[in-house]
Structure 1
Amino acid sequence: MGPDSESSHECGDDSDDSEHDILEELLAGNRHHVDALPEDYFADVQVDQHPGIVAISCSDSRVPQEDMWGVDHPGQVFTPSNIGNQVWDDDNGERIVDGGLLYPIHHTDTEVAAVVGHTGCGAITAAYRVAMGEPLPGPQGVDKWVRMLVPVVEDALESGLIDTDADDELVVNQLVEYNVDHQARFLRESADVPDDVDIYGFVYDFQGIYGNDYGCTYLVNVNGETDPDEITEQIPATYEAVAQSLLY
């Protein structure tokens, strides 16, 4: 985690010390972070923020929410996350747009929203298994979010876009992309999201499913357009390779 992390393990493998080892790694990592920051790093965002994009990602330690965009300044990307990169929450049985997305759109002048799924998503895998008849994984705080994904998975399996005869790896990753499209559509159709907000869908690939560029965010949806050929027409030629789909 930090440049001094190895030194925290030099005292042995005693289990009572392991928790303190992790704490020491966190403290050392933050010290390294502080020492590396320019003096004026936070100067432009001391009072307020105006991020250009709000990007909702899946809660996963393998998905670096800012690094994936090459962000090196604070205030550029608003980064909510939850289980399964879901743009909604449940309010007494009603699906509403998650506040982590709505806040920057309504209060920081943010005009671009991105839904970012990732390959091998555990939330999608769990929802797929539930749709196939297996029990929810538990505990309740997890089950709530998996349960909200199950109808999306069921809809996907009936859409004709999923290769249900394929192995589970392909099926899950097709479902990941389908979920990104579904979440993006929910945003576009919500009265709480202004019409002039651009909405993009990406899949972060750290497994080499879409191509050989590990860590690439593949662009699968641009304001409702999901055809890779049509998406290619909307982006510079140098980025054509990121317009990929497992569904179309």
Structure 2
Amino acid sequence: MHRTVLELLRNNAEHAAEFQSRFDGVQDSQHPDAVTVCCSDSRVLQDHIWGNDEPGRLFTCGNIGNRVVQRTDSGEAVSGDVLYPIEHAGTDTVVVVGHTGCGAVTATYEDLTEGSSEPAGIDHCLDLLRPHIGAGLESLPPDVDGAEAVNRLVEYNVDRQVEFLVESDEVPPGVDVVGVVYDFQDVYPGRRGEVHVINVGGETGVEELRNEHPGIESRIDRLWEY
């Protein structure tokens, strides 16, 4: 067996020894406090970025581009991954987590600006992002380079995913929806690995958000107010 799998199994044995008693209260049901929609990038440690080691606390969804949209025969709908804990586990908070240097946003940006080719499965995922990111291209400042454009479009994509949730009839009005960006590339002020709040329930203005949420004003920031 490949050494990587052997190493994973050894690490899992340590995990099982540490966690065996932590499942006592969640073996038969779950009631997570939040559902997080993260990019599946290997650098985004979905539970660790929140310091979470409690089974049942977070319902984590991962896909390239932190998408909340899926296509059905009747059109676009909220992804079942996101909707499941809301419908069946009483979860009332959704956090959409983008990240700096997102590969899916980069690939979508390059496809829209230069044209590119991807395998069918990847292209399907990018096709779900194109309409939500494409509209942002026209608003980009003319003097930004490729990396700066991508990081602004990361925010734009998070905004569009939040918007889709807020406007969907499938998501009950009492569910809080928050959009954030995880930074490990020194793009935002602060430390590597910090999460920056950019959108709360559709509000994206930094000043407005800081006034509404003074307890976290230092964590509210944006690269781009378009």
Name the TM-score class by shorter chain. over 0.9
1:12-69 deviation digits (Å, cap 9, x = unpaired): xxxxxxx6211111111101212222x5210110110000100111111110111111
Equivalent position amino acid for 2:50 in 1: W
Aligned pairs, how many? Answer: 225
Question: Please, which runs of 5 or more residues in structure 2 have no aligned partner?
Answer: none
| 2:217 equivalent in structure 1 | 240
Larger relative contact order (CA 8 Å, sep ≥ 6):
2
Contact kept in structure 1, 2:69 and 2:128, CA below 8 Å? no
Question: Please, which runs of 5 or more residues in structure 1 have no aligned partner?
Answer: 1-18
Residue 24 in structure 1 maps to residue 6 in structure 2 = yes
Equivalent position amino acid for 2:224 in 1: L
Structure 1 residues 117-156: aligned runs within 5 Å: 117-136=98-117, 138-156=118-136
1:117-162 deviation digits (Å, cap 9, x = unpaired): 01000000000011113223x211111011221222220012x3x2
Equivalent position amino acid for 2:182 in 1: Y
Equivalent position amino acid for 1:247 in 2: W
Structure 1 residues 115-194: aligned runs within 5 Å: 115-136=96-117, 138-158=118-138, 160=139, 162-194=140-172
Q: For 1:199, what is the secondary structure of its paired residue?
A: strand
Contact kept in structure 2, 1:113 and 1:199, CA below 8 Å? yes
Relative to the length of structure 2, the TM-score reads 0.95
Contact kept in structure 1, 2:163 and 2:202, CA below 8 Å? yes
**Deviating runs (4+, > 3 A) in structure 1?**
none
Q: For 2:11, what is the secondary structure of its paired residue?
A: helix
Which is greater in Rg? 1
Across the aligned residues of Structure 1 and Structure 2, the Cα RMSD in angstroms comes to: 1.3
Structure 1 residues 34-73: aligned runs within 5 Å: 34-37=16-19, 39-73=20-54
Relative to the length of structure 1, the TM-score reads 0.87
Identity, % of aligned positions? 43
Equivalent position amino acid for 2:104 in 1: A
Q: Distance in 2 between matches of 1:80 and 1:176?
A: 18
Residue 205 in structure 1 maps to residue 183 in structure 2 = yes
Q: For 1:185, what is the secondary structure of its paired residue?
A: helix
